[in-house]
Structure 1
Amino acid sequence: MSSSDSRGEVEVLDDKYQVSHQQQPYGEKEKNGLINSDVETITSSVDSVDSKNPFLDPIVADHYRQLYENSKYECRSAFDPALEWTQEEETKLVRKLDFRVAFSACLMFAALQVDRANLGQAVTDNFLNDLNLTTNDYNTGNTIFTVTFLLAELPSQIISKRLGPDIFIPIQMCAWSIVALSQGALKGKASFYATRALIGMIEGGFIADLVLWLSYFYTSKELSIRLSWFWTTLSIVGIGASLAAFGILRLRGHLELAGWRWLFIIEGAVTSAVGILSFYLMVPSALQTKNKLHPKGWFNEREEKIVVNRVLRDDPSKGDMHNRQPLTPRMIWKSLTDYDLVPLYIIGLIAYAPTSTLGAYQTLNLRELGFSTFNTNLLTIPANVIHIFLLLGVTWVSERVNEKSLVCLIVPIYTVPLVGVLAFWKGEMISVWPTWAVTTLVLGSPYIHAILVAWVSRNANSIRTRSVASAVYNIMVQLSGVYAANIYREDDKPLYHRGNRQLFGLAISMFPILILTKFYYIWRNSYRDKIWNKFSAEEKQDYINNTTDEGNKRLDFRFAH
């Protein structure tokens, strides 16, 4: 996609000049409450017809050139406000980025998902009985993993920002793969809990770290689509892992080891290989691709300039910190106390509970329904296939119509009737195939995670808030996993009517949450419009040049909804 065709958000951020603008086709700006400033200096380059390049104004260009120098931005030497390129050049370059960056990110995420999901396959091979664990012990293990995972989110983001994702992510992967492989030697409850804690602690923050790395190479609109590929990998891995487990678990008894032990050993070794490979796959930035592993680098000089300038024209704030610059305590605190992002955090806390609960118990429930170990793993595949199509579809529609809140309503519209069937199922006997069919459809429900991650990023409106808010949002998602893992209880088996009624209530709650979120941002934008429209041209100019308001607290910023 060409930067000249992008309708993504352009954010011009810094202490003196800070303008936020969402590019829209003519006729849609007033409808969405976006500003049309009559300020003729800095904002003229942003609100004009040619606003795709905010550096056309010499004042803005000079200012950002100095800002990038002061921040020691690693790609500052490639900054060129006058650089032009063709659609053909950019299309070819984006394809190269997709292979070098997006594909590598998906491969690394696949390794993460293998070690997060293989516990579900292990329980189909008498994992709990072999270790003398109960369903509640299994719940506790999942809870320990989720708690340590979420507690590591923010610290991991801080470390990654200091060391650089290209260094920290490979270290993370190699470290957790060792622990994942060691699960093949589990002896009982204590070792099960210990490995769950260690894996969660090491993996925590990995997703936010990887998204940060992706943002170095893609524009905002491109990023949301690549994120949908990112989470599509989750379902593809689910299919592959189920097929692999079908074969690996047949090794039960070989060398006197249980099948689930072979599963952890083999898949842990695979993850370790990907972790080592990631040292080769990742580079610090577009201008830092030449090294011992890449003697020729990824790009020629012109390609380097196009990669850097297309990203900066989409979001000039991406150069106001360098890729080894840490977040200060003050920056972290201001980002943590940003109340305007709370509605999005609430969505993350509620939206995925039904699928989290059913997903954690899918294989265990199928075994209890009477399916064999091998058929159980095969029966998990249809949910992943449905998940892929609905994830890509809902993300594409959201970007296509430039709408988030209302598009996300498809989740409760889809899940409420299905979870209602499970919650109010009549009789005491289990209807095997209907139960599997309904559960499969719920697990394949539209996944709005890619939309929410991009939404948080757009409404953060600053580098420091974007970094911290991504971690906080993921913490909310992990918190939902904590309570979701404990909704199904031993005394509620086998139909889990009580637990499913709780999931039904959570699914219904998404209707008012999403609607209120939209109205909240509409109200915030309208409130700012009233103040901003009362300003004269001189007052607007003075505000832009001298205000102490920062990030999304600026009067000239409008929230996406």
Structure 2
Amino acid sequence: MQFKNPFVKEKAVSAASVDYETAEVSSTEGLSATEDEKFDGVLDGSGDHKNPFTDPNVAEKFRQLYEDSQYESRHVFDPDFEWTKDEEKRVKRKMEWRVAGWACIMFWGLQIDRNNLAQAVSDNLLEDLKLTTNEYNYGNMIFYLSFMSAEIPSQLVSKRLGPDRWIPIQICLWSAVAMCQGALQGKSSFYATRSLIGLLEGGFIPDLVLWLSYFYTSKELSIRLSFFWTGLYLVNVLTSLLAFGILRIHSGGLAGWRWLFIIEGLITLCIGLASFFRMPASAVSTKKWFRPNGWFTDREEKIVVNRVLRDDPYKGDFHNRQAITPFTLYKCLSDFYMWPIYAIGLLAYIGDSPEGTYLTLTLRHLGFSPFNTNLLTIPVSVLKMILLLSFTWLSEKINERSLVSIIQPLWVMVLVIALRFYPESGINVWCTYTILVLLLGGPYIHAVVVAWTSRNSNTVSQRTVSAAMYNMCVQAGGVAATQIYRKDDAPFYHRGNTQLIIISGATIALLIVTKIFYVTINKRRDRKWSAMSKEEREEYAQNSTDKGSRRLDFRFAH
């Protein structure tokens, strides 16, 4: 099967023409052209890859755009290039191992150093440092505030240095601080390390998503992200087993939780050092002195680059070392079309966050030992992995985000209601544990919403800033979550659980409003587009100064 080229059709029409009669794009396997399909010429944020390159003039326009931006892969952009389905499958298999596979490992490094605090708490960290649960809350709040404040600065640094340089630096720095937690002495050092780790980890996820977008199409990205977050929960299982052994170490006069920080920080440091050699700047930059043959042949490089550009032509409007100017930053931040997704990030993950933070403490209070406590957290991670993959697959299968995402806050609301009105007398340990497992192991929509953010951005600069803004909102929600369970509300947290029920209800309403918002905008643009003549559409496609999601020929995913 050959992938025919949409750039060189003899019938010259604009990238936005509804009269184009010969293009069909496969959502995951590449580009093909047939004579019996119609293409409406609209850039679709849903990731269905409707072809924007039907007119040679449009192809030339983008060629000039790539030249002006000094896009690093512009020399392999080829409107006449064709490839087969089997060739693309082989290239994707290489990327799964070398790009997505290593991205998973780097994600694991992040989760190791984020998850081990809860494990350390199960081994009397609070007692050894003379911390109250409120001070533990403040430490988590400081982490989220630091993480949040570093998001946009990290993205700006990453865009200037390149994520292939900045991400390994981040991993090495935060792993060094993570190991230093083995020397914690009290509240001040606890707060200081929480802040430093937050500052150094902030921006890591958007940086990595940006790097992945150089290799994968928009529809492929959300599935890969779901595997990454699934990998994180697999790491939770593995680190829980590891903690079961490490927490028994008490040599050298150090408590088990101190060895936990030192050993797991060292593991992450090794991942960071290896990442300097495992992250090429782009698909055309894999040949290095330590990798003379590179990852791809010359032909495979062209396949990687051209399939990504045919999915999203604006991925070439910035080169991978180009800094974002203050004006560009302002334009991206003021794009109100992205604000509903930011609001979702703010609310969507609060509902089960306090319970997750207090899980190991709750299990200890229910009478379990430090070692059994860590083993009992494993079912949460296993259930989370299953539901994360299932709901991400469902979202892509039916091309639906808002309504699929509603399942998460609805799930949380039902189970928090069970906790809120659980009888205080005659508490059954295993019944309480079952509710917590179902609550914390429920659907997780983060992978769906991260990919949703990327799809609706439509330019590299907007994608860079919007990913950081979304993650900032997620961390802001995390800050709020740290203050919901308070000492004066212990041990049943009736007030806190009531607040979580209200927040879950608000999240459901927000997702419905977001769906209505994007559908309304798309229909309004459809009406304007339909009212334009073919010549007007061609003129708009060629000369409009509208950028990104503000373009009249762009449709939002919802």
What TM-score, normalized by structure 2, do the two folds share?
A: 0.91
Alignment of 1:91-490 (within 5 A): 91-251=89-249, 253-490=250-487
* Alignment partners' CA distance in 2, 1:543 and 1:220: 24
Contact 1:4 1:52 in 2 (8 A): no
Cα distance, 1:382–1:44 mapped onto 2, change above 3 Å: closer
Extract unaligned runs of 5+ from structure 2: 5-13, 25-38
Q: Give the conservation status (yes or no) of the 8 Å contact 1:424–1:501.
A: no
Whole-angstrom distance in 1 between the partners of 2:205 and 2:140: 18
Aligned with 2:537 (options 520, 529, 540)? 540
- How far residue 510 of structure 1 moved from its aligned partner, in angstroms, is 2.1
Most deviating of 219-228 and 519-528: 519-528
What amino acid sits opposite 2:396 in the alignment? Answer: E
Identity of aligned residues (%): 57
Shift of 1:44: 6.1
Name stretches of at least 5 consecutive residues in structure 1 with no aligned partner: 6-16, 28-41
| Amino acid across the alignment from 1:95 | R
1:54 to partner: Cα distance: 3.8
Distance 1:18 1:485 in 2: 49
How far off its partner does 1:426 sit? 1.7
Shift of 1:26: 11
Q: Distance in 1 between matches of 2:450 and 2:41?
A: 30
CA pair 122-20 structure 1, distance change in 2 beyond 3 A? farther
Give 1:280's aligned amino acid: F
Q: Shift in Å at residue 431 of structure 1?
A: 2.4
1:199-237 CA-partner distances (Å, limit 9, x unpaired): 000110000001111111111111111011111111011
Give CA deviations for 1:91-122 in whole Å, capped at 9, x if unaligned: 11111100000010010010011001100000
Offset of 1:407 from its aligned partner?
1.1
2:28 matched to which residue of 1? Answer: none
**Aligned-partner SS, 1:93:** helix
Contact 1:3–1:52, Cα closer than 8 Å, also in 2: no
Larger displacement relative to structure 2 (371-380 or 350-359) = 350-359
- The Cα of 1:505 is off from its aligned counterpart by 1.4
Root-mean-square deviation (Å):
2.4
Q: 1:542 to 1:80 in 2, by over 3 A?
A: closer
Shift of 1:43: 7.4
Q: Residues 121 and 360 of structure 2 are in contact (CA less than 8 Å); yes or no, is this contact kept in structure 1?
A: yes
CA distance in 1, matches of 2:528, 2:237: 53
CA distance in 1, matches of 2:507, 2:474: 14
Check whether the contact 1:150–1:479 (CA below 8 A) recurs between aligned residues: yes
Moved more, 531-540 or 141-150: 531-540
Opposite residue 453 of structure 2, the aligned amino acid is: V
Alignment length (residue pairs) = 530
Which one is further off, 206-215 or 339-348?
Answer: 339-348
**Cα distance change of structure 1 residues 407 and 264 upon mapping to structure 2, 3 Å threshold:** same
Q: Does 1:88 align with 2:91?
A: no
Whether the aligned pair in 1 keeps the contact of 2:150 and 2:200 (CA below 8 Å) is: yes
- CA distance in 2 between counterparts of 1:277 and 1:413 reads 41
- Asked whether 1:57 is paired with 2:83, we answer no
Note closer, same or farther for the CA distance 1:346–1:294 as it changes in structure 2 (3 Å cut).
Answer: same
SS at match of 2:437: helix
Post-superposition offset of 1:529 = 2.6
Q: Could you list the per-position Cα deviations for residues 418-452 of structure 1 after superposition, in whole angstroms to 9, with x for gaps in the alignment? A: 11101111224532111111111111111111111
| Higher alpha-carbon deviation: 172-181 or 403-412 | 403-412
Paired position in structure 2 for 1:504: 501
Say if 2:212 and 2:221, in contact at 8 Å, map to a contact too: yes
Aligned mates of 2:273, 2:41 — CA distance in 1: 49
CA positional deviation for 1:538: 2.8
CA contact (8 A) 2:182 2:261 kept: yes
C-alpha distance in structure 2 between counterparts of 1:494 and 1:439, whole Å: 15
Give the SS at the match of 2:358.
Answer: helix
The amino acid across from 2:205 in the alignment is I
Query: 2:454–2:463: 8 Å Cα contact kept in structure 1?
Result: yes
The 3 A distance-change label for structure 1 pair 175 and 44 is closer
Displacement of 1:293 in angstroms is 2.2
CA, structure 1 residues 58+545, in 2 after alignment: closer, same or farther (shift >3 Å)? Answer: closer
The answer to whether the 8 A contact 2:3-2:82 is kept is: no
Does 530-539 or 474-483 show the bigger shift? 530-539
Residues 160, 98 of structure 1: CA spacing in aligned structure 2 closer, same or farther, 3 A cutoff? Answer: same
- Find the partner of 1:519 among 516, 519, 532: 516
- Please tell me whether the aligned partners of residues 354 and 507 of structure 1 are also in contact (alpha carbons under 8 angstroms): yes
Letter in 2 for 1:148: S
Deviation at 1:56, TM superposition (A): 4.6
In structure 1, distance between residues paired with 2:100 and 2:464: 19
The one-letter code of the counterpart of 1:456 is: T
1:4 Cα deviation from its structure 2 partner: 6.4
| TM-score relative to the length of structure 1 | 0.90
